């Protein structure tokens, strides 16, 4: 987790659940930015690999296709590094 110090964790603006790598399968991601194309808002989402989260995938996902769980970036990283075995509640809630 040292690769993601508290300063680096602050560069992520939130945690999302996105449909990836294919339809019907979901991944935990970290929002790194937002952009607009026309009337559509997109989020830049980093989906870290597990158990080594220093590599991963960068996705541009329409914001309305994302779920925003009420979980901190730190807890999300614990969940990813632990291969999903940590006791983090990922209660899915739609963006308000």
- pLDDT tens across 58-88, in order? 999 999 999 999 999 999 999 999 998 988 8
d(CA 42, CA 76): 21
pTM over 0.75: yes
Compute the half-sphere exposure of residue 42: CA atoms within 13 Å on the CB side of its CA: 11
Q: What is the pLDDT of residues 5-59, one digit of tens each?
A: 445 556 799 999 999 999 999 999 999 999 999 999 999 999 999 888 889 999 9
Nearest Cα residue to 61 out of 34, 81, 84, 82: 34
CB-CB neighbours of 59 under 10 Å: 20
Residue with tokens 């309305």: 64
């Amino acid at each position: 987790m040292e690769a993601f110090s508290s300063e680096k964790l602050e560069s992520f603006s939130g945690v999302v659940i996105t449909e990836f790598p294919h339809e019907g399968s979901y991944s935990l991601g970290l929002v790194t930015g937002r952009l607009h194309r026309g009337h559509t808002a997109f989020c830049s989402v980093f989906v870290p690999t597990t158990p080594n989260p220093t590599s991963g995938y960068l996705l541009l996902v329409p914001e309305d296709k994302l779920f925003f769980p009420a979980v901190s970036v730190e807890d999300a990283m614990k969940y990813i590094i632990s291969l999903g075995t940590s006791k983090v509640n990922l209660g899915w809630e739609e963006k308000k």
